[in-house]
Structure formats: structure tokens, C-alpha cells
Structure 1
Amino acid sequence: MTLSNAVIQTLNEIESIVGKKDELADSEIEQIKDLFYEILKKGTNYDVEEIESWFSKEKGWKNKDLVVRITNLSHYVQNKFEQTSKFRIIDKDSCGCND
């Protein structure tokens, strides 16, 4: 799966958010998680391995630990989103049980 334009735009936003490319501040972590959540909320999916690959190809991301951290955040948000979306409650009339 290749990255969509929306995901690439978000990765560029992350790149501009992260001040030092050798560590993440707590506020940056929260912003990054919010950005990944917004992608999923809009119905766009992403491949975590493609995100890692994108960061490794971009200039300035020499700190492998930071790239792994951002990739882990994307994976964490994706898993959390998928878990919560599995448990949506449906209206009892919409299930067809009373037919």
C-alpha cells in the first residue's frame, strides 16, 4: 500500500512540528497522535511500514530511535482506533432482530 496524499501531508506536518530531530517533547507526542487519529477518523488508512520507510528516506531524520518512536505512535493510534471502532453500538431496530 502506498501512502496517500493525505498521509504524506500529515507526515510533512509532523516534520514541521518536531523541533529537534533527536528527541520528542511530550506536547509533540500528543500532536503526532492527534494527527494520526485525524487521518483514521477521515477514513484514510496507512501502512506503518510505509510511514517508517518515508521517514528513513527524508533528509534530517538520522536518529533511528526517533523514527521508530513516531512509527510506534502511528501503530498505537491505529490499533486503538480499530479496537474502538469494533464496538460500535447499533440501534436494536437496525439489526433486523424484530423482523
Structure 2
Amino acid sequence: MKKTLGVDFQPLRSIFPVSACFRGQIGEMSAIPHAMGTGRRIRRGDVLIAEAAVEIGGYSCELERTMIVGKPSAKQKRYFQVMVEAQRQPSKK
């Protein structure tokens, strides 16, 4: 990626200018920001948080996605809708 972008887009501060990872936020740990992994296996019904990030020319961007393994429960659907609505609130003004 750095080769494609060229020298004008070299990172200024970070030693990891591009990253895509799974941070270990599984199941009950998915409610904790930047959780540490527990080593347990992923199970049906678990909530997973995946992340991708980039830093170019001093600017940074982060993208996170919430996923549910299998079919979400009614409780998971409800909480997911609450999260989506909370994210939309600032844009309604």
C-alpha cells in the first residue's frame, strides 16, 4: 500500500501505518473497549468486534464492525438497534 500511495503519503508518527485486526472482543468481552483476548473459542451467538485502521500523512481513520456469529437473539437485535440509533443521533441535528 505504501508503495502504491508514494512518498507523499508516508506515515509521520505511527510505526504501524496500516492495520486490520481482530482485537479479541468476543462474547461477554465485546462490551469492553479494547478488550484483551481470553483464548476461548468463538461460539454461535457470540458478538465479535473487528477493526481496520490507517494512518497516512498525519491523518488517521478507524473502522470497526460488530458481527454476530449465527442468528442474533432478540436481546442482541434490540441492543444492536439501540447502538445504531445512538450513532445516528448526532447527524439528526
Q: TM-score, normalised by structure 1?
A: 0.26
Greater strand share, 1 or 2?
Answer: 2
Question: Normalising by the residue count of structure 2, what TM-score does the alignment of the two structures yield?
Answer: 0.28
More helix per residue: 1
Higher relative contact order (CA 8 A, sep 6+): 1
